[in-house]
Amino acid sequence: MAKVTYIQSDGTSRTCVNFEGMTLMHLAVGNLVDGIDALCGGMMQCATCHCYIDPDWIDRVGEAPEAERAMLEGINGVEVRTNSRLSCQVQLGEELDGLVVHIPADQPGI
């Protein structure tokens, strides 16, 4: 198990413990983390699980692959950064123990 800290746009944070094989989205939804709405259930179709990986972690997590990046850039109202990821596409494991994720103030369509 590993811990992930979600930081809201107002600076408040919440640390959750994941189980091997979960995604950032599943962990957030299961722990009622505000701002990760996941309306499509993790199918990479809505971008309502958009998050920013903390810059200190982006090398370990990795930048969004081409298809994920195209999804993000195709959604109006989303500030896409180099550290933007869809949390449904980030698999969690022990190597990400201590991961810090920033939640945008707004998600698309919400």
| CATH at 92 | 3.10.20.30
What confidence category does residue 110 fall into, taking pLDDT thresholds of 50, 70 and 90?
A: low
- Tell whether the torsion through CA atoms of 93, 7, 42 and 63 is positive or negative: negative
For position 9, what pLDDT does the model report?
Answer: 94
Asked if residue 110 belongs to a domain, the reply is no
**Across residues 13-42, what is the average pLDDT?**
93
Structural domain range at position 45: 2-102
Asked if residue 109 belongs to a domain, the reply is no
pLDDT at 11 over 90: yes
Asked if residue 8 belongs to a domain, the reply is yes
Asked if residue 80 belongs to a domain, the reply is yes
For position 108, what pLDDT does the model report?
Answer: 77
**DSSP-derived 3-state class of residue 23:** strand
* Structure token pair of residue 59: 């090398």
Domains in the chain, number: 1
What confidence category does residue 21 fall into, taking pLDDT thresholds of 50, 70 and 90?
A: confident
Q: CA distances (Å), 99 to each of 12, 32, 54, in order?
A: 16, 18, 8
